Amino acid sequence: MKQRLALLQETLHREVPLTRTMGVRVEEHDGRELVFLADFAPNINIHGTAFGGSLYSICAVVCWGLLHLKYEDEGLPAHSVLGDARISYRLPVRGEIKARCRLPGDGSYETFIENLKAGKRSRIELTAEILVERGVAVRFVGSYSAST
């Protein structure tokens, strides 16, 4: 699993160079959830907290990364893009950035994959969160479109 996560991190740094600058690291994956960490220093704003644009970006890529791993699991040559998103900033982030994305438990992931396997364009809504000691600092909901 470590090698697989290292390959995902290499892919991100190559395909989305901003992730290297942000210090994004692929940390954990259990099959249903993916966790990224990012360095605080390159993502700081004038207020001494994490920059909102950086938080948005890491949320967008942790969701993309989870889909990328799931396509591999399913043997699908699929590609996804973010079509629409909304974000809510709830608490300041003042240290290392921890982002997670979990597959939805409502059956939408299974339908999404079935559509892709049938050769249809498919769409899924994924939620990412930035976590701090006090709880969820940021909640991001993105609509990803995919095709094979």
Tens-binned pLDDT, residue by residue, of the chain (148 aa): 799 999 999 999 999 999 999 999 999 999 999 999 999 999 999 999 999 999 999 999 999 999 999 999 999 999 999 999 999 999 999 999 999 999 999 999 999 999 999 999 999 999 999 999 999 999 999 999 999 9
Global pTM reads: 0.96
- Strands of 97-102's sheet, edge to edge? 25-29, 33-38, 97-102, 122-132, 135-147, 79-89
List, for residues 114-138, the tens digit of each pLDDT value: 999 999 999 999 999 999 999 999 9
Residue 85 backbone dihedrals phi, psi, to 5 degrees: -155, 155
Q: 2-147 maps to which CATH number? A: 3.10.129.10
Which residues, listed in sequence order, are joined to residue 129 by a DSSP beta bridge?
100, 139
User: What are the extents of the domains in the chain?
Assistant: 2-147
Contacts of 3 (CB under 8 A, 6+ apart): none
User: Quick one: tokens of 124?
Assistant: 């899924």
pLDDT of residue 1: 73
